Structure 1
Amino acid sequence: MKDQQREKNLKKGRNVQTFNIIYDSIEVGVSLVAGFSSGSSALIGWGLDSVVEVISGSTLWWRLNGELKDISEEKVKKRERITLFVIALSFLLISIFITYDSVLKLINKETPDWSTLGLTILLVSLVVNPFLIWYKYKYGKRLNSKELIADSKDTFVCLYQTIAVLGGILAVHFLDWWWADPAAALLIVPYALKEGWEAYNNGKKVKAQ
């Protein structure tokens, strides 16, 4: 019989993921519209990061829901492993796209237009993401869930990128630093690669258990 406290934490963790998926889906739509209309590589990269967060968040919801439905421990471990590998792949795809798009913008010296829509969603995310990070980490610790903790780091990457993108947009608009937008996007790559590698290694450890 499932421990009642663990079941309670699983439900709360699943609820956090549900909210995360809904919010990130909104973030995707708004940021990509703003990014493509303004020509901002940082906003586009940030929007694609949110696409990846929706995918990894949905995979993690699937893993937590599986345990709540009393599937076997073997199947839970399988879902945990898949989730960690999805998170790792997510970080890799983010890094590749951001690097390609940003370097291209730097070479072509492309300057993005001002985007009030982009600025608005960035400011909202500055408020929302710290709460998501806290609750994901909190329930990741309570459940001893490596994948939930890894997902909290994924959201931290999004928060870090939000600050960088916001700084880049403001620098382009107020200081005429044409290079600030793609440079801001590139700041996220080293951290994303590091966390992706860590999630991948954690996935291998789960497989070996």
Structure 2
Amino acid sequence: MYAYFFLSTIKKLQQVIAPSVFYFSFLYDMNIILVGYMGSGKTTLGKKLASRLGLTFVDTDKRIEQNEGMTIPEIFSRCGETHFRALEKKLVAELREEENLLVSTGGGMPCFNELMKDLNEIGTTIYLKRPAKELAERVFNSKKKRPLTDGKSKEELISFIEDTLKNREQFYGQAHIIADREIQNITSLEMMVKAYWREVKGD
């Protein structure tokens, strides 16, 4: 069952009494998984939300780099994208054995090897949805090296991201919660997650 939360629901959600961090991490025993395009804020928001809910933060790209002893650009350069996607699939299988995580996924992870289906089974998925122009601005100004976008001008980035999103939306859109940019702040995300968990648990 997919739950879609938009700005109009926030006032109602604000009436929800927020239990303690311990209560939620103990009672619900669930993972949260953030999906979305590069530059959508998965890492920044993920770390803050993990702290609020008492979850362990995991960045899938960082975990792969630690496992392989190479950076993501190095993996792409030496081994190719197909190998990198295989590493993502392997990591998702590993995450099935872990609990109480907040996972920030790589932008392409949900879109290959049917991994969006797997991610939905592992935890509560949240799609951080942002417009292409905003994503392009964030990626262009970022100091982080990104194999798929490095060397592109801002105009080229906008076109590239628009084209890529047309394909990826069908995967991102399968998330349990879709958070438009207007409600992408920690308080709103926390309330949405708690409300969704209550709905799933029937509380």
- Asked if Structure 1 and Structure 2 have the same fold, meaning a TM-score greater than 0.5 normalized by the shorter chain, the answer is no
Give the structure-2-normalised TM-score: 0.31
Structure showing greater Rg: 1
Q: Report 1 or 2 for greater relative contact order, CA contacts < 8 Å, sequence distance ≥ 6.
A: 2
The structure with more helix, counted as a fraction of residues: 1
Give the structure-1-normalised TM-score: 0.31
The structure with more strand, counted as a fraction of residues: 2
